[in-house]
Structure 1
Amino acid sequence: MDQKNRSAKIITKVVLMLSLVSLFTDVASEMLYPVMPIYLESIGFSIVLIGILEGLAEAVAGLSKGYFGKMSDNLGFRLPFVRWGYFLSALSKPMMAIFTFPAWIFSARTIDRLGKGIRTGARDAMLSAEASAQTRATVFGFHRSMDTLGAVMGPIIALVFLYFYPAHYKTLFLLAFFPGLTAILITFLLKEKPVATRIHKVRTSFFDFFRYWKTSPKFYRGLVIGLLLFTLFNSSDVFLLLRLKESGMDDTYTIGIYVFYNLVYAIAAYPLGILADKLGLKNIFIAGLAIFAMVYGGMSISSGMIGFILLFFLYGIYAAATEGVSKAWISNLVNKGDTATAIGTYTGFQSICSMLASSIAGLLWYQFGSRAMFLTTSLAVLLVIIYVALLKSDKDINMA
């Protein structure tokens, strides 16, 4: 009973509402994930143009996360950034279906990613403020579970819809607006809490988050360097799906195993967050990296259905053990008034490194084959594990 009451206090109304917002937003986004490349090709986009589109969109999201995170800290507000960020992402879905010429599609996709950049730091700071240093991994784990549940529901909705209405891609884009709208409406159930005493008239420069990097805690910088080194070898999940296709799996199996991975991720994120708070964030994070290295090593040798199912199960465990835990860990290392800046700076650099990672992986695959790419990544991540394991801090708790 005591444990139940303790859990109820950890998952506050704000945590629950923000988690539901992320769930519905991910339903909208993941409804379109399986069909986005097909839709873009159907309206005349080449593979090269699709690559440029996604690269530009991710660059916008990455560079804006640090800027808007710093702005949120400077102004002392969170909720306006959260609402506007989710609003822009919801608006971008029907925009993709209204017109099909390239400039418009580029604009719609960029608006979607800009929305992510606006909301990420402020939202994660709101989640962090609802927890203590001893419960942050639990809170972020619960949020990741709900968010990823949307990534399970979205593709299933899309598959069912396209089964009954094949090739009705524009209609699907229009339908995706409604879960996005639901997410926005939920944000109006939240109330703003004072963040800290800030100088509200301070102007935020686009490069202020770079300046924050210079003045941030030493261990924060050391941890983020380790996280970014890992990101440089953590290429897009598309390569994992391409490995399935290379092994002869059909489209239904490929999408199905993607849904399976997200389901494992959704189920495991919350309990692993609780476990991280008990056993230590560093321990669980390193375990997650070790599982990642195992998965990529396995991808270099596996070719059977059972093997791939096991590897994607482990991949879901890896994601659950690292994504929310890393943000909780960062939150525990910085002043409360700098939380959005710290997380925004990290996720901004992370987006840029993710682009480089996919380029590196694609080059390795092209030059030496898929097995060499996966094995190289696995060995590189073992070195990252050693780096993170050697990191030491005298102050591994929130300084606020």
Structure 2
Amino acid sequence: MSRLNLPKGVIALGLVSLCMDLSSEMIHSLLPVFLVTVLGAGALSVGLIEGIAEATAAIVKIFSGVISDRIGRRKPLVLAGYGLAALTKPLFPLASGLGLILTARFVDRIGKGIRGAPRDALIADITPAESRGAAYGLRQSMDTIGAFAGPLLAMALMAATSDNFRLTFWVATVPAVLCVLLIVFGVEEPESAPRATSTKSPISHENLGRLPAHFWWVVAFAAVLTLARFSEAFLLLRAQNLGLAVTWVPMVLIVMNLVYAASAYPVGKLSDNSNRSGLLAWGIGFLILADLVLAAASGIWAVMLGAALWGLHMGATQGLLSALVADAAPADLRGTAFGVFNLAGGLALLAASVIAGALWSRFGPAMTFYVGAIFSAVALADLVANVRRSRLNGHAASQ
């Protein structure tokens, strides 16, 4: 165990996430503006590209999770996923049209899909149940350190090179290579990892039936919440829409991810000793406030406030949802459970990004964020209803 009282493997996986997000966010913090200003794309095209990319990742996650359960190994799939993502990075500076960008995002997200569920299952495999909130929160925080350092470096490079998008994209390939080396030499998995015991496919009706009702509620709840939280590309477009210069647009993600990184681990650790539903409710409240601020924004400072609230929402929800999945799933089906969870979230993100792009194109930015606030309120109502049902069931059981 480390000084954080967590397994060294969790910290190693956090560093891996940090490096990949540093690379990815150097590109993604500029990509929406690059698409609009250099390649001539519209908001709907941005939404489609982002939605298709994330849905692809979600679909692949269920298969990689299933495979990791069947073979009882997580690291080979984690390495394959991060390695594939690293190979796509040079495609972004080489792109001269939407086709290659879509291809790069598509393949990059396949890599994300391959690594996501096995990585999250590996964290559950090596972490005691009483520390899982902290473990997922720490990995999320380290991931998010890369997510704000990436835009910060991108912004510095853009300022130093007179807005040279392509050079910045080339520099982003370096941390991606470092990420792969960290997996090879720094990540280990337990000698006897949980392995699916059934001879049937893990996605058979029998095995899916072993996943408890609470797990399926978490999946449905997270999908509704994802509809409210469309791609962060629209935060960047909102900043540009209100007049922020291209060089400084990544500052929006820096603010969001700085708050996200600062809050994810403390919230995750707090959740190990308190009511996770209450913390999730606070997280949804932050998203509602973020949407309302961004809808009404008339200047850059309002966008930055909205981005900070968005980051608080992420810090108060993402690690907790992963911990809820890990708690609910049988040990030998954790990879499958995370795959199903991410599939539902990815499909919801596809729908959310397309809806956001269509609303932006038809009715303008404000309506996009107002609709997001409505979806957030629906998710909050569902959470409150579930807590009440649980209390009533617990009361009835005690009679």
TM range (shorter): 0.7 to 0.9
1:314-346 CA-partner distances (Å, limit 9, x unpaired): 221111000111101111111111111111111
The alpha-carbon distance between structure 1 residues 310 and 162, as it changes in their structure 2 partners (threshold 3 A), is: closer
| Counterpart residue identity of residue 161, structure 1 | L
- Out of 146, 161, 171, the position equivalent to 1:165 is 161
Structure 1 residues 210 and 266: CA distance shift in structure 2, 3 A: farther
Distance 1:69 1:146, change over 3 A: same
Which 10-residue stretch deviates more, 107-116 or 298-307? 298-307
On the 8 A contact 2:235/2:252 being kept in 1, the answer is: no
Q: Check 1:101–1:131 CA distance in 2 against 1; reply closer, same or farther (3 A cut).
A: same
Deviations 1:171-190 (A, max 9, x none): 43332222111111111222
Moved more, 225-234 or 164-173: 164-173
Aligned to 2:288: 293
Work out whether residues 67 and 209 of structure 1, in 8 Å CA contact, stay in contact via their aligned partners in 2.
no
Percent identical: 29
Q: Write out per-residue CA displacement over residues 280-333 of structure 1, whole angstroms, 9 at most, x where no aligned residue.
A: 222111110111112212333343444443333222111100011110111111
* Counterparts of 1:72 and 1:359, CA distance in 2: 31
- Please state how far the C-alpha of 1:89 moved relative to its aligned partner: 0.5
Contact 2:52 2:350 in 1 (8 A): no
Q: Distance in 2 between matches of 1:369 and 1:353?
A: 22
Matched-pair contact (CA < 8 Å) for 2:46–2:357: no
Q: Match of 1:90?
A: 86
Deviations 1:72-99 (A, max 9, x none): 1111110001111110011111244457
**What is residue 194 of structure 2 aligned with on the other side?**
196
User: 1-side partners of 2:154 and 2:281: how far apart?
Assistant: 35
The residue number in structure 1 matching 2:397 is: none
1:10 paired residue number: 5
Q: Does 1:284 align with 2:282?
A: no
SS in 1 for 2:194: coil
Q: Which amino acid aligns with 2:89?
A: K
TM-score, normalised to structure 2's length? 0.87
TM-superposed CA distance for 1:271, in Å, is 0.9
Unaligned 5+ segments in structure 1 are 396-400
Describe the superposition over 1:255-288 as per-residue Cα deviations: whole angstroms up to 9, x where unpaired.
Answer: 2232111111111111111111122222111110
Pairs aligned (count) = 387
Match of 2:59 in 1: 63
Which residue in 2 is equivalent to 1:77?
73
Q: Which residue in the other structure is 1:385 paired with? A: 380
**In 2 relative to 1, CA 305–115 (structure 1 residues): closer, same or farther, beyond 3 Å?**
closer
Residues 369, 155 of structure 1: alpha-carbon distance in 2 compared, 3 angstrom cutoff: closer
Q: In 2 relative to 1, CA 357–52 (structure 1 residues): closer, same or farther, beyond 3 Å?
A: closer
1:250 aligns with 2:245: yes
2:308 to 288, 310, 313: 313
CA contact (8 A) 1:209 1:341 kept: no
Residues 232-257 of structure 1, C-alpha deviation per residue, up to 9 Å, x if partnerless? Answer: 22222232333333334433454223
Report the TM-score, using the length of structure 1 for normalisation: 0.87
Against the structure 1 CA distance between its residues 211 and 120, is the aligned structure 2 distance closer, same or farther, given a 3 Å change threshold?
farther
* Native 8 Å contact 2:48 2:350 kept in 1: no
Q: Is residue 10–residue 139 contact of structure 1 (8 Å, CA) maintained in 2? A: no
SS in 2 for 1:135: helix
**Aligned mates of 1:134, 1:368 — CA distance in 2:** 47
Amino acid in structure 1 at the alignment position of 2:194: A
For the structure 1 residues 315 and 170, does the alpha-carbon distance in structure 2 shift closer, same or farther, using more than 3 Å as the test?
A: closer
What residue identity is the alignment partner of 1:216? L
Matches within 5 A, 1:72-151: 72-97=68-93, 100=96, 105-151=101-147
Partner amino acid, structure 1, of 2:226: T
Q: Is the 8 A contact 2:147 2:253 kept in 1?
A: no
Letter matched to residue 223 of structure 2: L
- With 344-353 and 371-380 compared, the bigger mean Cα shift is at 371-380
Q: Deviations over 1:192-248 (max 9, x none)?
A: 312224459x6858xx37875454211111121111112122222232333333334
Counterpart Cα distance in 1 of 2:308 and 2:51: 28
SS of the residue 1:279 aligns to: coil
Matched AA of 1:362: G
- Bigger shift: residues 211-220 or 325-334: 211-220
Tell me what 1:361 maps to.
Answer: 356
Deviation at 1:9, TM superposition (A): 5.8
How big is each residue's C-alpha offset from its partner over 1:43-67, in whole Å with a ceiling of 9 and x where there is no partner?
8574476555444333321210111
1:113 positional shift? 0.9
- Distance (whole Å) between structure 1 residues aligned to residue 7 and residue 16 of structure 2: 14
| Contact 1:213 1:221 survives alignment (8 Å) | no
- Classify the secondary structure of the residue corresponding to 2:10: helix
Partner Cα separation in structure 1 for residue 322 and residue 66 of structure 2: 16
Which of 127, 131, 153 is the equivalent residue of 2:149? 153
* Matched residue, 1:334: 329
Question: Counterparts of 1:234 and 1:30 in 2: how far apart (Å)?
Answer: 18
Q: Measure the CA separation in 1 of the matches of 2:206 and 2:250.
A: 42
Q: Are residues 55 and 212 of structure 1, via their aligned partners in 2, closer, same or farther at CA, if it must alter by over 3 Å?
A: farther
RMSD: 2.8
CA distance in 1, matches of 2:37, 2:363: 31
How many Å separate the matches in 1 of 2:363 and 2:104?
Answer: 36
Q: Distance in 2 between matches of 1:271 and 1:62?
A: 27
